Chain A
Amino acid sequence: MIKPKFAFILILWVCCAVPRLLKADSITPSNKGGLSGNILLDSNWNRVVYLSFIPTMNDRFTMSHSFIIDEAEMDSLGNFRFNAKYWPIEDALYRIHIVKREDPVASLIIGGREENFYLFVANRQDSLFLDGSAGFARAVIKGSESNGLLLQMKGWVDFADSSTFAGTPIKRELIENAISEKLRQVADTIEYPLVALMALYYTDFKSNQKLNSQYYQDFWKGGRMKIQRISSFFELKLKVKTKRILLFGFTSLPLFLLYL
């Protein structure tokens, strides 16, 4: 038979701890953290935004159901929100996308006027806002320096891309070299390792690895590449579990102290 004292503690613990445990598991919208935004869309598009966790840089343009980790419905004004409670603490690469009414959920449109995705870097502490009030194609993420840099770099790459077929071959090469040099400077100086890595990817480092071998050697030696840039989703789940165990410990301890 359970002693009255133990029964009292058990009931008290259930009353105090269980609601907190449930709260830890649920992802309730809050005004802080995560990605919120506003997108102006016409009737050709579904009013749902999908969030994908991109495991590696090579997967930036991969569309897979398995990458989609969340979805958010837009309200009548185009507002949406993703909560960051379960995102990794460190910076990781994410992609949001929207889909046309006749397209499957896992649809990626690269290039053209109907490009339907936006890549961004975020961590659990970030509070980002996607301003798509001028349309999804012109969307900008506000509230983070690293995403501002990403957008700037994309602008350079797009410029190099558009000039690829304009002018003489020498002019094209000069433009490409100048932009690659600029990107390497960014990679070398910014404090966000993941963005630095993306800058190097934009330089097409595979093709010019020999040409700039000293630069890459210094980059690796500098320890900037030692980051665990993207943790797997499995690790993410473990972190949530760890948090729950800690929460159990923290809520139980005062009760035991009270009892003693």
Chain B
Amino acid sequence: MCLLGFVNAAKAQNNSLELSKYISLTEKMTEQVFTIEVVGDVVQFSLRVNCDLQLGEVILEVFDPAGKPQGKFSVQASNSETYQSRGKLERNIDHPSTGTWLVKVVAKKAKGNVYIRSQQEFEK
């Protein structure tokens, strides 16, 4: 497992909490699970998973706190760094299950970036 440029960011504003993770994929990376804690009286939960890929293949999957899959996509590069492949998954959920949401990233000889951004809006 090898990650470069792994960045976490959190921003709280009025009634919302924004969390983001930026992952730079290297060819040595295989599998990694990222967690997002959804706590309190959340009215809406937005999750966006973006992947830009120059080489290899990446599978990204989202699971709710009950372990149920909530979205999956994969991106395959053309094996030419000239042509990039991109995948985006967007989920907007009203009154989400509280607990730990997971984003599983499975990479195969991949070179690229994954950007995970979540936003929780709380009861006013």
Closest to B85 in A: A106
Tell me whether A63 and B95 are in contact (CB under 8 A): no
Q: Which B residues touch A166, using CB under 8 A?
A: 94-95
Interface segment, B16-24, B25-33, B70-78? B70-78
Q: Which residues of A contact B88 (CB under 8 A)?
A: 107-110
**Are B78's CB and A106's CB within 8 A?**
yes
Q: Count the A-B residue pairs with Cβ separation under 8 angstroms: how many?
A: 74
B6 at the interface (CB under 8 A from A): no
B residues near A164, Cβ cutoff 8 Å: 93
A residues 103-129 touching B (CB-CB < 8 Å): 103-112, 114-115
Q: Which residue of B lies closest to A109 (CB)?
A: B88
Chain B residues whose CB sits within 8 angstroms of the CB of A65 once the complex forms: 76-78, 83, 85
Please indicate which of the listed interface residues A65, A103, A115 has the most CB atoms of chain B within 10 Å of its own CB: A65
Specify which chain A residues have a CB less than 8 angstroms from the CB of B97 in the assembled complex: 165
The minimal Cβ–Cβ distance linking B55 to chain A, given in whole angstroms, is: 12
Chain B at the A interface: SS class: strand
For the complex, give the distance between the alpha carbons of A4 and B72 in Å: 68
CB distance from B63 to the nearest CB of A (A): 13
Which B residues lie within 8 Å of A112 (CB)?
A: 90, 92
Whether the Cβ atoms of B95 and A61 lie closer than 8 Å is: no
Chain A residue nearest to B73 (CB atoms) is A61
Chain A, residue nearest B95 (CB): A165
**B64-104 with Cβ < 8 A to chain A:** 71-78, 83-97
- Given contacts A61-B72, A62-B74, A65-B78, are A103 and B86 in contact (CB under 8 A)? yes
**Interfacial chain A residues near B86, Cβ < 8 Å:** 63, 103-104, 106-108
Q: Decide if A213 is an interface residue (CB 8 Å cutoff).
A: no
Q: Give Cα A112–Cα B97 distance, bound, in whole angstroms.
A: 19
**B69 nearest CB neighbor, chain A only:** A204
Taken together as a complex, chains A and B put the C-alpha atoms of A164 and B92 apart, in Å, by 12
B39-59: CB near A (< 8 Å → 1, else 0) gives 000000000000000000000
> Given the known A-B contacts A106-B78, A110-B73, are A64 and B85 also in contact in the complex, defined by CB atoms under 8 Å?
yes
Find residues 129-168 in chain A having any chain B CB closer than 8 Å to their own CB: 164-166
The answer to whether A165 touches B93 (Cβ under 8 A) is: yes
Q: Are A62 and B83 in contact (CB under 8 A)?
A: no
Chain A residue nearest in CB terms to B49:
A110
In the complex, how many angstroms separate the beta carbon of B118 from the nearest chain A beta carbon?
Answer: 14
Interface set of B (CB-CB < 8 Å, partner A): 71-78, 83-97
- Known contacts A107-B86, A110-B71, then 16 further A-B pairs from the complex at CB < 8 Å, ordered by chain A residue: A61-B73, A63-B73, A63-B75, A63-B87, A65-B76, A65-B83, A65-B85, A66-B76, A106-B78, A106-B83, A106-B84, A109-B90, A110-B88, A110-B90, A112-B90, A165-B97
User: What are the 8 A-B residue pairs with the smallest beta carbon separation, nearest first?
Assistant: A112-B90, A64-B76, A65-B78, A106-B85, A111-B90, A61-B73, A107-B86, A104-B84
